[in-house]
Amino acid sequence: MTKLRRLQYLFGGELRPICVDPKNRLPRHLGKLCMACCAPKLLKNVEYMSGHPNRHDACSYWCHVVFPTLASRRLNPYGVVLPRGIRKVKSLRTLGLVNIAGGKAILQDIRRLTQLRRLAVIGVNQKNCQEFCSTLDDLCQLKSLLVEPDLGSSSYSLRGCLDGVSSPLKNLESLKLFGTMVKLPVWIIGLESLVKLRLRNTRLTEVDATMQVLGKLPNLAILPLWGNMFKLEDQRSLTFHREALFPSLMVLELNLLFRLRSVEFKDGATPKLELLCVCWRVHGRLL
């Protein structure tokens, strides 16, 4: 692969079959998957599939999803391991989903790919986060970034892992952050080119302060908020204030925000909002 000097796009895909999540779901759902050949509806329950799967679907799922995933990813269905010397492919524009948990060597290769426009990584942890932040500082042309923590950690946490970025990524248009953060890194407020921001399971504690920061991003147009974005305890509401205008926001998605009871829009907030998507799970069913 390292001999493909003109290669511009390398993306291993973001394969996320729920059943083979090694952290918690695989042991719990393995029995259901084994029984799916006799009772195909169990496959639908595990993977939240639409339609009515039959025995052929269940067998195909084992052959084409579960077995290849477990065999090729060493029980880790998230991310790919890049070959050494990837730094030689200097024409790369897109790279992902890369697992960087194995060591700093891969980050030293990535930082040499100065033409990268899109980068997706998983495996960020306390041991490699400083090197990762330093790598981001060198990728000045980056327009899209996805960051997810090390699945081997019990906390699934990015807490403090992105604080080492020395300055905002001025050209960044899309940012996806998955994993516990408690609070956003301060440099996010400087992302003036940011158009799309996705936050999932970040468990942010300062709800109003976070909305103030996001509301001041001048070009933010798409905001999908997933899972435990906020750690909602006493405060169960989400308010869009006039002071945090969200001047360019056009699409707002509220997806499975647990414990959230209400969303309020004050006069003058989100003046360009065109689409509001709300998805909740009640008694195991999506609404």
The answer to whether residue 26 scores a pLDDT higher than 80 is: no
pLDDT at 152: 61
Tokens describing residue 287: 């609404």
Residue type, 193: S
More confident residue, 86 or 133: 133
Tell me how far apart the 2 most distant CA atoms of the chain are, in Å: 58
Contact 133, 165 (CB under 8 A): yes
Tokens describing residue 211: 């909305």
More confident residue, 179 or 40: 179
pLDDT at 75: 42
Q: What is the pLDDT of residues 244-280, one digit of tens each?
A: 889 999 999 988 666 777 888 988 889 999 999 887 6
pTM: 0.76
Residue type, 276: L
Q: What is the pLDDT of residues 135-156, one digit of tens each?
A: 999 999 999 999 999 776 667 8
Rounded to whole angstroms, how far apart are CA atoms 248 and 261? 25
Mean pLDDT, all residues of the chain: 78
Rounded to whole angstroms, how far apart are CA atoms 17 and 67? 11
Residue type, 159: R
Query: Model confidence at 232, in pLDDT bands (50, 70, 90)?
Result: low
Strands 262-265 and 285-286: unpaired
Q: Count the helices and strands in the chain (H runs, E runs).
A: 7, 13
Q: What is the pLDDT of residues 98-113, one digit of tens each?
A: 889 877 888 999 999 9
Nearest residue to 10 (alpha-carbon basis) of 110, 132, 140, 154: 110
pLDDT at 137: 93
The answer to whether residue 67 scores a pLDDT higher than 90 is: no
The answer to whether residue 59 scores a pLDDT higher than 90 is: no
Rounded to whole angstroms, how far apart are CA atoms 118 and 96? 8
Helical (H) or strand (E) element with 145: strand 144-149
Tokens describing residue 43: 């496959």
Residue type, 248: S
Exposed, middle or buried by CB within 10 Å (0-12, 13-18, 19+), for 177?
buried
Query: Model confidence at 216, in pLDDT bands (50, 70, 90)?
Result: very high
In this prediction, residues 198-227 reach a mean pLDDT of: 90
